[in-house]
Structure 1
């Protein structure tokens, strides 16, 4: 039984916790703990330890992501493919005691947790438990550190690294991959127009409407379950979807074979923007099964027949649809066609149509007043005035709905009269909300085909995450060469892969229900407290690490 005993040394009384134990058959007092002087003990009991310092760090996300990365052995796999092109550096360079693989992993974790530049990485990292978990100093990591080590990863090694890592994810977490979803997006950059060394950043149709800036494209394939990224490609920003799809079909097939996925049991889902006769012929040649979409405007006869014979009711994703199903030869191949009307899509398209027509009518009204003034425009013929009206009616729908005529008035100006064709509006609304799907999965039921296509929302969710300014943000990318941009995109997709793995674990082990954003916020709010107590006797301070009190969700 332990007791408190005092010892006097040099006129001072010191207290100890002592337990009596037998040593060689004789009882001996054994000191279990030193308590110090009475006033020291009093301060401890009152919780007012002299020299006590506290600091807390964001811990949950860092710990979860590093743990997942360790299980997948990410740094080692990256390091196998490292080859520095610089003659004054080692083939597999190490900077500040960090390898290329570890550096890219830390960069990926930084993109997951908080949007930051390479220069600002340490300013964020020192607010986390990263140094404590890795047991090394990271204070010297700056933008130059990242640039030097990113330079040592060849672009052609990225697909090989990704293939191995995805294979490990599929085997360790038993991800269902029966249906895969393909889509593309783009990210604007601030690469200068005068930069001729960078060929991957080009001007194109930017999805954030930054047509004034150069952009880089990203193609992605994700799984139905947990949105795991299985394949990505960084491509030139001026390539359209059809061109990109044609260039990646064979690569997607190769990746599926590397992952040991049975082509006969898997189905690739893609949007209508990727369609062309040649592209579908390539898909058929590779042996991939698919579900795609057709543009109603390109298949008018099919639309008319579908709207007339849409009488089968199908329930899919808790919605009931009126559908039309048939087999048709489209682009020299027999395909199963499913047409249906989505009420949600229809309502949105009708709202968009009326907004579009209202804007066009306002443009016509404003132009009508300006044309009356002979000083506003100096048209020599009615044809020139009509061309100006067509500019005001800048959309296809507006030009179909509005009819107009222009004639010169006695003052030298022009009189514009216009009318709205209400019958044409009804006709346009009749075809709105229509989806036409096609597939070579003739044995699938109609509901399964519709559900597969609706799964496109999974990859759209992945793109939303990669454009989320709080977590997983691919932008900003402060790189100006093709190689650095490709490696930066790889870092961001690697970060997204890690985040999806952590989310899957949270769902399976903790029954987590919520978005990726909510999960990362919750994990970031789990904090590790460091309690530093100055030593009474000469020697280093004592540090104790404890998690802060967690709530039920954490």
Structure 2
């Protein structure tokens, strides 16, 4: 936006102006909005002053600043061609407004206009009343998944170029979100599947994210049906991955194509997918399932004397064993990594499972001794009791006798349990085609997978930019709502990078949210309407730095008076 002053009716006012492309007219359209009087505040009687509310400045202003650095509205409007701005917000303005709401005050689209009215920084020069739920749904019906993917790639290119992101290693993962859409409501996205919330009574919508190694910045996303498979999601992203690869090379100014690596967990293993990733220009790091033949072979190798060795650098507390072999028909480097934290967590889980299984097995033993259970029923209940992970490995069960008079005996084999802990628990098998990488680099790259999990935590209920509550029903609305949520996550990550803070994202956003204007209504003793004045808050050192970086004083000039710090008594004035 462009800020300037103009004299209207003998008084000077501050205005903001912007230019938006109008697809119907085939030319840009200029918009202006009055931000308030530019003159000095009036002399008032403090005894007649009353507080009438507050307005958001810091958090919204920081997000708007990042959006301007990316030209977010322009990129989205150009990708979603044909979505004009005549009479209402463009698709880019609507996405930005919804993203701001998801981050700062998650709520329904019917509350969007009220949220925008309570913010001093503006997402558009249009009146807030034009940002309605009906306008959102109309725009959602007119855009498709391909256009949103093109917009996301353009935003990723802009983010890498402007904020110098490292994109050599990218992490991919999926999650899903609960909806409360009725079973009879038609739609392809909201489906019953394996819900991460463990609820089986709700339809869910899936989200796949590709995230940069540094900064937790989403670079590519995909909304998919809740009953879709993880492999199918990544496979459907291959075209977008190829475009992203070229776009990132362009943003980084590379003369030769970069060698980028996609990190993912064991749910995405597929030989064909490995080959497809190689075709579009990506290497791969994946955690193989321990039940995989190659995983079993690698674990057996790691169990040998002296195979597990301590790593160097920052990973001195980690032990790993490295080998090379065939995974199906593919030549891969395999690294078995030992994690003490994972080991302790699995041991606690097994201990709790043993307590439950012991109670059930003792009950079955009493039933067998009294002849009150058949052998077929006994075998079924034993199998059910030991189906928890690893229990069948060291709990030895003997079922004999006839169907009418079964015999039953069981015990926990301590040696088998100890062998399990020494050779299998707390270990992961990493598989990669980056043969030239050191073991430390492979382990460090895989640990970047938590970047995606961190973003998913922010997108869950109670997070920084939660996907829910969502009141969308149509597929188009669900898709655009998810896109706006991902844009919100991207803006928050880039705010943290721009601020260069070591605080958590929650602490950072809370600190920015505390930069609020207090509205007071007072009297000058003269005729006319009582003026309302926005008072700046007292700022901390970190908040003053944020005001300077994100240029918040352009929205609220009174913040400039808070930037000067008082000199200490022992310092010269």
- TM-score range with shorter-chain normalisation? 0.7 to 0.9
1:79 to 77, 80, 86: 77
1:57 to 10, 31, 55: 55
Paired position in structure 1 for 2:266:
272
Aligned residues: 496
After TM superposition, list the pairs within 5 Å mapping 1:370-385 onto structure 2.
379=374, 382-385=375-378
Closer, same or farther: CA 251–155 of 1 in aligned 2, 3 Å:
closer
Paired position in structure 2 for 1:23:
none
Paired position in structure 1 for 2:66:
68
Closer, same or farther: CA 264–100 of 1 in aligned 2, 3 Å:
closer
Alignment partner of 1:300 is 2:296: yes
Alignment partner of 1:169 is 2:159: yes
Unaligned residue ranges in structure 1 (runs of 5+): 1-31, 36-40, 85-90
Paired position in structure 1 for 2:220:
231
Q: Distance in 2 between matches of 1:163 and 1:358?
A: 51
| TM-score w.r.t. length of structure 1 | 0.82
SS at match of 2:410: strand
Note the C-alpha offset of 1:292. 1.8
Note the C-alpha offset of 1:317. 3.4
Paired position in structure 2 for 1:334:
331
1:343 to 340, 346, 361: 340
Paired position in structure 2 for 1:458:
451
Note the C-alpha offset of 1:493. 0.4
- Cα displacement string for residues 271-327 of structure 1 (whole angstroms, at most 9, x for unaligned residues): 122112222222233331222222233232321112204143312534333322222
Paired position in structure 2 for 1:88:
none
1:190 to 176, 180, 184: 180
- Cα displacement string for residues 453-494 of structure 1 (whole angstroms, at most 9, x for unaligned residues): 111111111111111514200112211222111111101001
Note the C-alpha offset of 1:420. 1.8
SS at match of 1:69: helix
SS at match of 1:259: helix
Does the CA contact (< 8 Å) of 2:63 and 2:492 recur in 1?
A: yes
Paired position in structure 2 for 1:117:
108
Does the CA contact (< 8 Å) of 2:102 and 2:467 recur in 1?
A: yes
Q: Distance in 2 between matches of 1:407 and 1:324?
A: 43
Q: Distance in 2 between matches of 1:187 and 1:111?
A: 15
Q: Distance in 1 between matches of 2:213 and 2:335?
A: 21
Closer, same or farther: CA 244–489 of 1 in aligned 2, 3 Å:
same
Does the CA contact (< 8 Å) of 1:527 and 1:548 recur in 2?
A: yes
Paired position in structure 1 for 2:434:
441
Q: Distance in 2 between matches of 1:436 and 1:164?
A: 35
Does the CA contact (< 8 Å) of 2:364 and 2:378 recur in 1?
A: no
Paired position in structure 2 for 1:26:
none
> Which deviates more from structure 2 when the two are superposed, residues 249-258 or residues 216-225?
249-258
Closer, same or farther: CA 280–83 of 1 in aligned 2, 3 Å:
closer
Alignment partner of 1:283 is 2:312: no
Paired position in structure 1 for 2:141:
151
Does the CA contact (< 8 Å) of 2:310 and 2:316 recur in 1?
A: no
Note the C-alpha offset of 1:226. 0.6
Paired position in structure 2 for 1:520:
509
Paired position in structure 2 for 1:389:
382
Paired position in structure 1 for 2:353:
356
Does the CA contact (< 8 Å) of 1:51 and 1:534 recur in 2?
A: yes
Unaligned residue ranges in structure 2 (runs of 5+): 1-38, 251-255, 544-573
- Cα displacement string for residues 151-180 of structure 1 (whole angstroms, at most 9, x for unaligned residues): 333332101111112211111112121211
Q: Distance in 2 between matches of 1:436 and 1:263?
A: 29
Note the C-alpha offset of 1:422. 2.0
- Cα displacement string for residues 481-517 of structure 1 (whole angstroms, at most 9, x for unaligned residues): 221111111010011111111111111xxxx221111
Closer, same or farther: CA 395–532 of 1 in aligned 2, 3 Å:
same
Bigger Rg over Cα: 1
Q: Distance in 1 between matches of 2:191 and 2:366?
A: 41
Does the CA contact (< 8 Å) of 2:274 and 2:284 recur in 1?
A: no
Closer, same or farther: CA 153–532 of 1 in aligned 2, 3 Å:
farther
Q: Distance in 2 between matches of 1:335 and 1:346?
A: 26
Does the CA contact (< 8 Å) of 2:260 and 2:281 recur in 1?
A: no
Alignment partner of 1:212 is 2:209: no
Does the CA contact (< 8 Å) of 1:291 and 1:453 recur in 2?
A: yes
Alignment partner of 1:322 is 2:314: no
1:427 to 419, 429, 450: 419
Question: CA-atom RMSD, angstroms?
Answer: 2.9
Note the C-alpha offset of 1:107. 0.7
Paired position in structure 1 for 2:96:
105
